[in-house]
Amino acid sequence: MKKITLLTLLVSAALFSLLIAGCSSTSDDSKAPDVNDSSNTGSTDEESQFLVCDNVGDCWDQCYGCAITAEDDPNNSEGKEGACYEVYSACQGDETCKTINDCIALCEGTDAEWLACHDTCMDASGGDSTPSAEKYYAIDTCILCEACPMDCAAEGAVSPGDCEAK
């Protein structure tokens, strides 16, 4: 299992609001990008089977929203899904994983308070070694290591070596 750092766990708190935002078109710069806008990184690379989402300048807002975009999302004119859509969808299809995700998304406060809330959510769902918890952590791993490595490294959410197979 991938070593989950405190910072990785902290950025997971943003998941709930980002899951709601997806890649919908909006004039609010704090929301996920409109993948129809070719001027942002929610565009596609003709060689890639996925939307290219990295290098927008943030890890857990725009890049995350783009990375979990469904192929048939109404705002997705490219017809390609985000690189993390499958792991996100797997979590949403598992009631316990979805509960974990929804619970952790509500955690706030200081680092210590957030971590205590995270642990409470995990404990209430059977602990962080369950198959559902693994699905939840797979989303973070995908965002950090596959879809948004440059943006997440720039924010300090991932360090060299964090994404190496253990």
Chain segment 12-61, per-residue pLDDT in tens: 433 333 333 333 333 333 333 333 333 334 444 446 789 999 998 888 78
Say which residue the tokens 């929610």 belong to: 42
Residues 6+ apart with CB under 8 A from 7: 156, 157
pTM here is 0.67
End-to-end CA distance of the chain: 8
Token digits for 52? 């290219």
Highest mean pLDDT among 7-11, 57-61, 103-107, 121-125: 121-125
Q: Is the distance from CB of 13 to CB of 62 less than 8 angstroms?
A: no
Q: Is the distance from CB of 89 to CB of 98 less than 8 angstroms?
A: no
Domain residue ranges of the chain, discontinuous segments joined by +: 6-153
pLDDT digit string (tens) for 68-108? 999 998 888 888 999 999 999 999 999 999 999 899 889 88
Say which residue the tokens 């059977």 belong to: 126
